[in-house]
Amino acid sequence: MGNPGAEFEHSRHNSGADTIALLARRHGSTLKLDRRARALTAGVRIGGRAVTLAFPQTYYNDSGFAVVTLAKRHDLLDDASRIVIVHDELDLPIGRIKVKVGGGLAGNNGLRSIKAHLHTDGFARVRIGVGKPPGKQQGADHVLRRPGKREREELDVTIEEAADAVELLVVEGPEAAMTRFNQRD
């Protein structure tokens, strides 16, 4: 997930979108606009499996529109666990990722939109830590800003790991991904 437009590129909120773009590059593809799905998409193969990568071009809080369109197209409505949502997470420090399937939304309006459109929270998630905002800064202000140089470097490494987590989810399943990525300090 992320927000479309140059002003949001490489912001903390677009960590998920940056991960999807990285996955497309790793697998020899580029994201192209799919107007019907309202998303940038790329078809790739990961571990021999066909995967559609997507970055909704709706705003973050309306991601469910694009997700449900793609879920219908790829016959995933009956098994939402095959949908992987990659998103930023205020409750995790920079440099951490966590993988989970289902569960609470932690106040994330993008996840709320996806759950409302899919009628389930049973999708997989790769959560990318962007840390809590400093001082009295609001969460929205924090995630919509681009990080400083040191934090950007940490976030870039975390995005690489998030891409690794997506690949492991696809190839070996959520248990393997959770075992590998959720036990880290």
Catalytic machinery residues: 13
At 140, give phi and psi (nearest 5°): -60, -45
- Residue partners of 140: CB distance under 8 A and separation at least 6: none
Report which DSSP code applies to 63: T
Q: Quote the CA–CA distance of 91 and 147 in Å, as a whole number.
A: 16
Q: Taking the CA atoms of 54, 96, 164 and 79 in sequence, report the sign of the dihedral they define.
A: negative
Among candidate residues 109, 23, 37, 104, the one with its CA nearest the CA of residue 76: 37
Token pair, residue 6, equals: 């140059």
Three-class DSSP category at 104: coil
